[in-house]
Amino acid sequence: MNVDKPIVLPVGKKVRLLTTANDVIHAWWVPALGWKRDAIPGFINDNWAIINEPGTYRGQCAELCGKDHGFMPIVLKAVPEDEYNAWVEEMKVAQAEAASGADKEWTMDELKTKGEEIYKNTCAVCHQANGKGVPGTFPALDGGAIVNGPAGEHVKQVLGGKNLMPAFAGQLSDADIAAVITYERNSWSNQTGDVVQPKDVKAAR
């Protein structure tokens, strides 16, 4: 099992790992590091490790966390320190870009491209890549009432969640949410033509 964003850590150095959670309790476990530690909403747990060998380390969630508990991999890449520093720089640049994205006006195409990626990574497990959902459990977004209704309700649903649908306010940035909503409102048979901007999401928080 693989992940989209592996954790990158330097070798030969004592690193401190903090764990917490947003929704339910998980447990962070990479067997090669010698311990597991729960990630608990409202708590910050810490632990440390010194990784000697560079390479890829794998693990997975060890605390029952819902239907996808069996599908929650952890991938950790241990790299030499200079490589690690380069990665940190890269991430800083990416973060700055994302932050500036929150204020700018996006075009429909930009939002849809970004939105598709987020949809695949975050929403498709339940609503399926084709937007048809799973009858009886996860509603179809293709032709869905909220998706084709007022945009404000749609934003509220994704930020706050509802019943089995998790809240995404803490997991996704304003730009991410704006993008995925714009994508949903203009994909499959949905043709609302609405463009939701990051600032709209910010206002709704």
Partner 1 sequence: MSYATTHDDHHDHKPTGITRWLFSTNHKDIGTMYLIFALIMFFVGGAMAMVIRAELFQPGLQFVDPLFFNSMTTMHALVMIFGVVMPAGVGLANWQIPMMVGAPDMALPRMNNMSFWILPFAFTLLLSTLFMKGGAPAGGWTMYPPLTLQTGDALPFLIFAVHLLGISSIMGAINIIATVFNMRAPGMTFMRLPLFVWTWIITAFLLIATMPVLAGAVTMMLTDKFFGTSFFGAAGGGDPVMFQHVFWFFGHPEVYILILPAFGIVSQILPTFARKPLFGYESMVYAAAAIAFLSFFVWAHHMFTVGMPLAGELFFMYATMSIAVPTGVKIFNWMATMWKGSMTFETPMLFAVAFVMLFSIGGFTGLMMGITPADFQYHDTYFIVAHFHYVLVTGAVFALMAGVYFWIPKWTGHMYDETLGKCHFWLSVIFVNVLFFPQHFLGLAGMPRRIPDYNVQFADWNMVSSVGGFVYGFSQLLFVYIVIKCIRGGAKATDQVWEGAHGLEWTLPSPPPFHTFTIPPQVTDATAHS
Task: Name the site residues for partner 1 (rule: CB under 8 A).
Answer: 1, 23-25, 27, 29, 31, 34-38, 40-43, 45-47, 59-71, 137, 163-164
CB 84 within 8 A of CB 10: yes
Give 9 or 186: the residue with its C-beta nearer to ligand HEC.
186
Binding at 122: pick from partner 1, ligand HEC, none (beta carbon under 5-8 Å per type): ligand HEC
Give 63 or 176: the residue with its C-beta nearer to partner 1.
63
Give 59 or 139: the residue with its C-beta nearer to ligand HEC.
139
Give 84 or 168: the residue with its C-beta nearer to ligand HEC.
168
Q: From CA 97, how far away is CA 25, in angstroms rounded?
A: 32
Q: Tell whether residue 178 is a contact of ligand HEC (CB under 6 A).
A: no
Please provide the DSSP assignment of 124-187 as one string: HHHH-TTS--BTTTB---TT-HHHHS-HHHHHHHHHH-BTTBPP-TTTS-HHHHHHHHHHHHTS
Tell me the three state secondary structure of residue 20: coil
Q: Nearest 5 degrees, angle CA 153-CA 158-CA 164?
A: 110
Binding at 62: pick from ligand HEC, partner 1, none (beta carbon under 5-8 Å per type): partner 1
Binding at 17: pick from ligand HEC, partner 1, none (beta carbon under 5-8 Å per type): none
Burial pattern 179-190, b for ≥16 Cβ within 10 A else e, equals: bbbbbbbbbeeb
Q: What letter represents residue 150's amino acid?
A: P
Provide the minimum distance between the beta carbon of 50 and ligand HEC in the complex, in angstroms, as a whole number. 36
Provide the minimum distance between the beta carbon of 142 and ligand HEC in the complex, in angstroms, as a whole number. 10
Binding at 61: pick from ligand HEC, partner 1, none (beta carbon under 5-8 Å per type): partner 1
CB 59 within 8 A of CB 7: no
Give 104 or 205: the residue with its C-beta nearer to partner 1.
205
Burial of 39 (0-12, 13-18, 19+ CB in 10 A): buried
Per CB under 6 A, residues contacting ligand HEC are 122-123, 125-127, 138-139, 141, 144-147, 154, 157-158, 162-166, 168, 180, 184
